Chains A and B, each alone.
Chain A
Amino acid sequence: MHPVVPNPETLSAQTCWSCLREVEKAAHFCAHCRKLQPPADSDYFSFFGLQRRLNIDLNALEKEFYRLSRLLHPDVYARATPGEQQWSTQKSSLLNDAYRTLRDPIARTEYLLELEGVKLEEQSRAATDEARAHGTQKQQVVPPDLLEEVFELNMQLEEMRMSKKMGERDEQVAKDLESARSRFEQMLAASNDELRNLWNEWDQVIAAAAAAEDPQRVGVRDKMVALLNRRSYVRNLVRDVNQTLET
């Protein structure tokens, strides 16, 4: 492993490093001499030239990913200057990271919420990793409407673990757990539909060019945060049930 050489960002972002003519901000190439430009600060949506909308045409996204890959991949710059090689590696990594995030519905939504300044709640994937990174136990915030059901489920899970410790398997509890699992799986499926509806709401708000603090925009945003939290909570429940049933 070697440290990355620091970016030679001595030139202004508006001037092409090669022909010294003006370049559009965040452009990948100089319009005059066609040379690759250094990476600019850009979010995943704008890297693909997209607005911050959540309904994305995945076929078009893939096509654009391939098109940009052909232009930016380090293989294309094997004979270029070391600076261009480094930029192409950085830009390609941004392209790949962006494509990976945007093509996945949940990752895309989480990413957009982060751009909107939301720190996702304890159950989110990123928060789980962060909690792990700090060695803390992840806190579980139970969605209120699930309180009763989760209470019962936890009892059943405990019973199941106990009986397994004794080397037995309580068929009735196993059956209950299985039916609880299929209920939660249905919830997950339903939450996908809900999420899609919220995407539509969000995209309309964006189409109307609402400002960041627009109450409608903030409203949809918060609804999505709540839905994602609930979703990851339920997903964790399914995982717990699976683990208990398997082992």
Chain B
Amino acid sequence: MPEERIVGIDLGTTNSLVAYMEGETPVVIPGEDGSNLVPSVVALTKGESGEHILVGNRARKHLIETPDRAIYSVKRLMGRGVEDVQHELKLFPFRLDHTQPGEVLRIRLGERTFTPPEISAYVLLQLKANAERYFHAPITKAVITVPAYFNDAQRQATKDAARIAGIEVLRLVNEPTAAALAYGLDKQKDGIIAVYDLGGGTFDISILKLHEGIFEVIATNGDTHLGGDDIDNVLIGIALEDILGDMKLDLRRNGEAVQPIRKAVIDAKVALSSQPSAKLDVALPGGQRYQREITREQFEELIEPIIQKTVAPTKQALADAKIKPEDIDETVLVGGSTRIPRVRALVKELFRREPHTELNPDEVVALGAAVQAQILAGGSKTTEDMLLLDVTPLSLGIEAMGGVVAKIIHRNSTVPASATEHFTTAVEGQTNVAIHVLQGERELASDCRSLARFDLKGIPPMPAGMPRIEVKFLIDANGILHVSAREQRSGKEAQIEVKPTYGLTDEQVEQMIIASFDHAQEDFGKRQVIEARVEADNILLAVAKGRKAPAWEQLTADEKRRVDLLEIELKEATTGEDYKTIRAAIDALNEGTMRLAELMMDSAVSSAIQGKTMTGADAELGSGPTAPHPIAPAEFEHKR
């Protein structure tokens, strides 16, 4: 039976995409509206038929019509606490519910509140639905990309989002690395490449070494709060000041009025990549219009401080990689913001060479994710020699006495990476030891990102300093930390209690999965239909094979006619949208082909087995349905 298809997902700040490998070529899967990009916008609508969650282009108009019921750029809040989003709160219309420091954020949409992973889960559900619609089959496994500079909490939040959406993440891949994979398919050439990725909300720079299909990241750096959003905010700020100065109209606290301005400046920004000037023309509350022309020169001057922020991380990555700009063989541009001519010019200055832009900067990350998905699925002719060796972007440390950080895994270490540390007690009879794990480059714990606090419990009572607790820290291939501990003198596994600083507990995620299904009855129904169709395809295929088997000729004319009829009925049922009808037709065909299945089994294993079905017989004979039907869930025949 063919394995389930694995898709590649780019869960972006501004737009999200889903892609897969069509043979040897990665392809983006369009949505129902034909668009490759799903805007990462989620809206909660309330109508006569109850609440609905809208995602993507359908949600986008709600940003303007009901801004308190819609949200964009939620990626900026993933894995973050209330104390480190104060800056974003000034610039983005996020409405937070009461959140304590150290807790996961809660965002208000209308009457309800959601955590950032839940909002992202809705975007993922839309991508999943798009893929399922495209393949007529359930999709439950994916490779999802994250900014290379995402810390553990941000990665974990992304994984949680997937779980809430019913997607198993086979690998989190760093966005610039994924882009390198997509480019690497075209030119299997060895050398050093730099990927400059300036998206809607994040900036990454990665330096990779390509060697006979191995993509080895040697250094990465970035800023998870830098991107096109910041450019929009500068332009919005100027517009609001203009409006206040010229028209004495203060719209700074008026979310509804700001959204049309935001849309206008984004249009202007996009236009300025191809035109020397652009016009802003926005209707304001009270009937006035805000009109202004902006030249590319003015625009470039305004955004210069923002794009200059990419220089320091780029230089740091080069220094960490121990290479000079002239050692770089190729430069690749990723992210919508790299369409801006001034950004391209800056990259050219930094690396002293013309960057590659052959692949669409909005799509290249998703395409790379699809490539990685195929590698994980076992590879193809093109990908079988490809292997990604990525690094952890931030140093991992533990808090020591005096609030300083002792680094145990340094940044740019190839993952998986591990470190073993030993701890002891300070007081006689002490049975608990608290460990504070941090991520970051600074010397003081208070300047680093707190990942979690662990309590090592159940240490056998001993004099101070006697216990020897070995704690193993392991960063896996997704960049996510795992911790295990053992008291060496007693050989006892110490218990670890994990308190993720900004994350969700397993129980919380579990609850959200159920909660999301409550509000996704419609999705669930569609899913049932898809699953039933797959099952129908399988049995139809098995029956088609059965017709060619010698056993077919042993059936009576009546039995054959009955099979013909039931087959037509099932085919008819699959064109409808009612999974119960399809299921009933499947059952009927299974029933009607029982004797055929038995005859086939008899000839194969020479023992009659009661209750065999066609698909069962087919699988038993060692020739499960194969192409042309490309997808089938692994264990469908046990579901009833």
- Which A residues are within 8 Å of any B CB, using their own CB? 1-4, 6, 66, 69-70, 73-76, 78-79, 89-90, 92-94, 96-97, 99-100, 129-130, 132-135
Contacts and interface: CB of A to CB of B under 8 A. Distances in A.
Contacts of A76: 387
Given A1-B480, A4-B474, A92-B477, A79 B418 contact: no
A224 B310 CA distance: 43
Contacts of B212: 66
B404 A74 contact: no
Interface residues on chain B, size class = 35 or more
Interface in B192-218: 211-212, 214
Contact of B481 (A1, A96, A133): A1
Contacts of B481: 1
A1 B477 CA distance: 13
A133 B406 contact: yes
Contact of A79 (B378, B387, B388, B413): B378
Contact of A134 (B388, B400, B482): B400
Given A2-B498, A69-B214, A74-B477, A132 B414 contact: no
B309 interface: no
Contacts of A135: 400-402, 404
Contact of B416 (A2, A70, A96, A99): A96
B376 A90 contact: no
27 contacts: A1-B480, A1-B498, A3-B483, A3-B498, A4-B483, A4-B484, A6-B484, A66-B212, A66-B214, A74-B416, A75-B372, A75-B376, A75-B388, A75-B477, A78-B376, A79-B378, A89-B416, A89-B477, A93-B416, A96-B414, A96-B417, A97-B413, A97-B419, A133-B401, A133-B406, A134-B401, A135-B404
Contacts of A90: 416, 418, 474
A73 B387 contact: yes
B377 A89 contact: no
B307 interface: no
A93 B474 contact: yes
A42 B351 CA distance: 42
A100 B414 contact: yes
B171 interface: yes
B159 to A, nearest CB: 10
A74 B414 contact: no
A195 to B, nearest CB: 20
B378 to A, nearest CB: 7
A135 B405 CA distance: 10
Given A1-B483, A96-B414, 8 more contacts: A1-B503, A3-B482, A79-B377, A93-B475, A129-B408, A130-B406, A132-B404, A133-B421
A135 B375 CA distance: 46
Contacts of A74: 416, 476-477
B620 to A, nearest CB: 23
A37 B452 CA distance: 32
A69 B389 contact: yes
A97 B418 CA distance: 7
Contacts of A133: 398, 400-401, 406, 421
Q: Which 10 A-B pairs have the closest CB atoms?
A: A135-B401, A93-B416, A78-B376, A133-B406, A93-B418, A4-B484, A96-B414, A135-B402, A133-B400, A74-B477
A69 B402 CA distance: 40
Contacts of A99: 414
Nearest to A100: B413
Contact of B500 (A1, A4, A93): A1
Given A89-B476, A132-B404, A1 B452 contact: yes
Contacts of B415: 93, 96
A79 B388 CA distance: 17
A124 to B, nearest CB: 14
Contacts of A75: 171, 372, 375-376, 387-388, 477
